[in-house]
Chains A and B, each alone.
Chain A
Amino acid sequence: MKRRLQRINLIALGWLFLLLLGATIAPTSSPPPNLLLTTVAPFHSVHWLGTDPVGRDVWASLLAGARATLQISLPAALLSNILGGTLGAIAGYFGNNRLRIAYGWFAALVLMVSGICALMGPLWQSLGLLVVGAVGLSAGLGWLLSSSRWGSNLLSVPLDDMIQALIALLDSIPLLMLILTVAAIQQPSLSGLIALLTITCWTTPARLLRAATLRTVPLQFVMAAEAAGLPPLRIVRKHIWPTIWPVLLARIPLSIALIIGLETTLSFLGVGLPPEVASWGRLLASSRLAPTAWWLIVCPGTAIFLTIWSLQALTKAKSSTLLASTDVTK
């Protein structure tokens, strides 16, 4: 069983390495379409993976598509995991009543925001001055108020509820639908698509890390750190984070796989990337112009499948070894 797992790992790693290699050596400028040879079957002398209905070489499109896919999915997965992980850990540690601020500071904050909003119109020319002045004034006011009897009462901030509400907001529509709709409205560029995928895909990592943090918080070393009077953010960073980050590490390949699936589906439906960017999904979509051209489905389909499968296979192996060695939270 172990040897088999290793063999599968080797295949998966090998494919991912090939993919990275292909994405880096892919030519940045696509060769001009050969209009004389449209829909050529594979094993042709020049185009040995065939051409699509407008005469572009399938092999070149595959390489360019690999680059585009990685350019989107790697940053989007990393960013969404970092965002979700941070929010999840904060929600899990601070809960609804661990973070408390004095009434005085809260009142000063509210006054500052409403003051900036109200004076934004008349003082539009000197906005920087307004912000600096408001921050300075409200800092003084907060200090004064919080030393009074009323202002020193503590108000607990329901961080957990707020983050849960955000998650519920994003989860009220299936992910594909949400991304499809927003992408159709905004027609994003490459970086826009990364931003869109980041702000829609962070909910699952956040939920996972919130659960992991909730399991860690009652442990005794966290209590000891609290009893020693360490600041909360330091406890989260130095004491809780080292025990929960393996969860995130196991999630990142799955996120990449999920985002690759979403991105290719979007380009297949014709709402993802701008049309001049090559993509596996677009290559698959071109098969609808030539229904009998099997190579237009088999080549990009195999690439997508192998990539997603490799990422999932790696996660499976990694999470099982991680569980055995480093998981102190179970």
Chain B
Amino acid sequence: MKLSRYLLLRLGRTSLAAWAIISCIFLLSRLASGDALIRSVLDEAFTQPTITATERAETEALLRHRFGVDVPLFYLSFSTPPGATAPAWQWHGMTNQYHRWLESLLHGNLGYSYREGAAVADLLKSALQYTLPLTFLAAILAVALTFEFCIWLGSHPAWRSPILSTLYVVQSIPLFVIALVLLLLFANPDVFTWFPAYGLGSIDSFSPWTGALGQYLYHLVLPLLSLILVSVPSLAIQLNASIQMEAHALYVATARAKGVAPRAVVRRHIVRNALLPVLPLLTELVPNVVAGSVVVEMIFALPGMGRLLAEAASAQDYPVLLGAVLLVSLARLFSQLLADLLYQWIDPRIRLSA
């Protein structure tokens, strides 16, 4: 009972924050784009000078209606009304862009792309089908690798110093440099041509599904590797530090004394207690990997969400941009909820103070 109330409160608070920031981004995008967008479309349409001013004005009105920017931006505005000289506060009621956007958002309609005219929800859906496997595989593999690695490191103290230095070095390389170097090393006709440089191959050409799956995974190797390389070091450094902290506890001495093997001491006794300080990092992992997929999908030309977002950003396709940001913040929301549940599961003594 108490847990569910706490979770509801937490969910409400986080979604409030997400709603506020997405509203800010929406208002900012409409403020910045509105007129410029219409003008650019108009300039593209009317290259010949034979168009009269009235025709141009009519087309502009039509375009404004189509893009939904013919009504005021927000409920309230401080502007000069037509026919007056001084600016004044004006109440626009429910017919404003923000209200319409919010209403359609609550009905599950994310708007239509400026560039392609397709529904943003459809674009996101088709992109997610590529991004979800990539990000989840990367997150799961990164976590599994980190744990195995740290358990191994915990029982081989001689390796700790050199490996930690290496991890610190790898940690300071940005993701896009890692991805480009991997591309340069393993998908280059001059060095090694082990992996394909871009795309996902033509999946349809393989009739048995195992062949298609193999082809798919083969194309995902380099993107996965770069996402893992960028997320494992920080996790491993934290987990290792936490394991070192726990290693001096008395229960570890007890376990040693009763003859448990060093590896089993780390795996069965230490890791469970060392998990708590690492948990925030673990829950940040999924949102961070999703953010990282922007870069990775750009570099390896995968048709996923990150690429959709990056292209929408550079082409200023705001509905798509907003939809993608909304989805990412939802991912964040769920990972936070998951974190709260995990805290309870790991350490039931944690008090729930909201």
List A residues at the B interface (Cβ < 8 Å).
117-118, 120-122, 124-125, 165, 168-178, 180-186, 257, 261, 264-265, 268-271, 281, 284, 287-288, 291-292, 294, 297-298, 301, 304-305, 308-309, 312-313, 316
User: Shortest Cβ distance from A132 into chain B, in angstroms?
Assistant: 19
Contact of B180 among A117, A261, A301 (CB under 8 A): A301
Tell me which residues across on chain A come within 8 A of B183, comparing CB atoms.
291
Q: Is the CB of A173 within 8 A of B332?
A: yes
How many angstroms between the C-alpha atoms of A174 and B189 in the bound complex?
36
Q: Is the CB of A284 within 8 A of B188?
A: no
Contacts A122-B86, A124-B86, A171-B17 aside, 14 further interface pairs with beta carbons under 8 A come to: A173-B329, A174-B332, A177-B328, A181-B313, A181-B325, A182-B28, A185-B316, A269-B294, A269-B298, A288-B299, A291-B197, A297-B177, A301-B180, A309-B172
Tell me which residues across on chain B come within 8 A of A178, comparing CB atoms.
21
| Per-position 1/0 for B146-184, Cβ under 8 A of A | 000000000000000000000011011111110011011
Q: In the complex, what residue of chain B is closest to A125 when comparing beta carbons?
A: B86
Tell me which residues across on chain A come within 8 A of B32, comparing CB atoms.
185-186
Tell me which residues across on chain B come within 8 A of A180, comparing CB atoms.
294, 309-310, 313
Q: In the complex, what residue of chain B is closest to A122 when comparing beta carbons?
A: B86
How many angstroms between the C-alpha atoms of A184 and B181 in the bound complex?
27
Question: Which of B199-207, B252-260, B285-293 lies at the interface?
Answer: B285-293
What's the tally of chain B residues with a CB closer than 8 Å to chain A? 55
How many angstroms between the C-alpha atoms of A291 and B169 in the bound complex?
26
Residue pairs across A and B with Cβ atoms less than 8 A apart, 27 shown, are: A120-B87, A121-B89, A124-B86, A124-B87, A125-B86, A168-B17, A172-B17, A173-B325, A173-B328, A174-B328, A177-B328, A181-B25, A181-B321, A181-B325, A183-B313, A185-B25, A186-B32, A261-B174, A291-B183, A292-B188, A294-B188, A304-B174, A304-B177, A305-B172, A308-B172, A308-B173, A312-B172
| Per-position 1/0 for B261-294, Cβ under 8 A of A | 0000000000000000000000000011011101
Tell me which residues across on chain B come within 8 A of A281, comparing CB atoms.
176
**Chain B residues touching A, majority SS:** helix
Q: Is the CB of A291 within 8 A of B188?
A: yes
Q: Is the CB of A269 within 8 A of B174?
A: no
List B residues at the A interface (Cβ < 8 Å).
13-14, 17-18, 20-21, 25, 28-29, 32-33, 78, 86-89, 168-169, 171-177, 180-181, 183-184, 188-190, 197, 287-288, 290-292, 294-295, 298-299, 309-310, 312-314, 316, 318, 321, 325, 328-329, 332-333
Tell me which residues across on chain A come within 8 A of B171, comparing CB atoms.
312
Tell me which residues across on chain A come within 8 A of B28, comparing CB atoms.
182, 185-186
Q: Is the CB of A312 within 8 A of B314?
A: no
How many angstroms between the C-alpha atoms of A313 and B168 in the bound complex?
8
